[in-house]
Amino acid sequence: MINVLATIKIIVKTLIFPGAFFAMAAGLLLAGIDRKVLARMQKRIGPPVMQPTYDFFKLMGKETIVPHAANRRVYMAAPVVGFVSLAVMMLFIPIGGWCAFTGDADLIVILYLLTIPAVALIVGGSASGSPFAGIGISREMVTMMSYELPLIIVFLAVAKKVGGDQLFFGFRAITNWQIANGPMIAQLAMIPAALAMLLIIPAEVGTQPFDVAEAETEICEGPLIEYSGAPLGLFKLNTAVKMLVMTSLFTALFLGGITSGIHTGITLWGIAIVDHILRALIHVAISAVITVVSMTTIHAATARLKIEHLFKFYWTAVTGLALISLILVWIGF
Cβ closer to other proteins: 127 or 249?
Answer: 127
- Taking CB under 8 A as the rule, does residue 144 contact other proteins? yes
Contacts to other proteins from residues 157-176, by CB under 8 A: 159-160, 163, 166-169
Query: Interaction with other proteins in 220-239: which residues (CB under 8 A)?
Result: 220, 225-226, 229-230
What one-character DSSP code corresponds to residue 125?
H
Residue pair 294/255 in contact by the 8 Å Cβ criterion: no
DSSP designation for 220: T
Residue 137 sits in the site that holds other proteins (CB under 8 A): yes
At closest approach, how far in Å is the CB of 291 from other proteins? 25
Binding footprint of other proteins, residue count (CB under 8 A): 91
Give which of 109, 114, 95 is closest to 248, Cα–Cα.
Answer: 95
SS3 170: strand
Q: State how far the Cα of 190 lies from the Cα of 186, in Å rounded to an integer.
A: 8
112 is a site residue for other proteins (CB under 8 A): yes
Q: Which of 24, 30, 105, 253 binds other proteins (CB under 8 A)?
A: 105
Among 208, 106, 113, which residue's Cα sits nearest to residue 156?
106
CB of 123 to other proteins, least distance (A): 7
Out of 25, 46, 51, 134, point to the residue binding other proteins (CB under 8 A). 134
Interactions with other proteins, residue window 41-60 (CB under 8 A): 60
As a dihedral over the C-alpha atoms of residue 30, residue 33, residue 38, residue 44, rounded to 10 degrees, the angle is 150
Q: How far is the CB of 54 from other proteins (least distance, A)?
A: 16
Find the shortest distance in angstroms from Cβ 89 to other proteins.
11
Min CB(239)–other proteins separation in Å: 18
Q: Is residue 142 a contact residue for other proteins (CB under 8 A)?
A: yes
Of the residues 93, 119, 237, 244, which one makes contact with other proteins according to CB under 8 A: 119
Query: Of the candidates 37, 87, 205, 252, which one interacts with other proteins according to CB under 8 A?
Result: 87
Asked whether 132 and 88 are in contact (CB, 8 A), the reply is no
Burial per residue of 142-168, b for 16 or more beta-carbon CB atoms within 10 angstroms, e otherwise: bbbebbbbbbebbbbbbbbbbebeeeb
Of 40, 104, 182, 302, which one interacts with other proteins (CB under 8 A)?
Answer: 104
Q: Which DSSP symbol is given to 169? A: T
Query: Closest separation between CB of residue 198 and other proteins, Å?
Result: 20
State the minimum distance, in angstroms, from the CB of residue 64 to other proteins: 4
User: Residue 256 class from Cβ within 10 Å (0-12 exposed, 13-18 middle, 19+ buried)?
Assistant: buried
Q: Which is nearer to other proteins, 20 or 288 (CB)?
A: 20
Binds other proteins by CB under 8 A, chosen from 131, 180, 270, 303: 131
Could you write out the three-class secondary structure of 95-122? Answer: ECCECCCCCCCEHHHHHHHHHHHHHHHH
Minimum CB distance to other proteins, residue 42 (Å): 28
Burial profile 47-85: b = 16 or more Cβ within 10 angstroms, e = fewer:
eebeebbebbeebeeeeeebbeebbeeebbbbbebbbeb
12 lies in the site for other proteins, by CB under 8 A: no
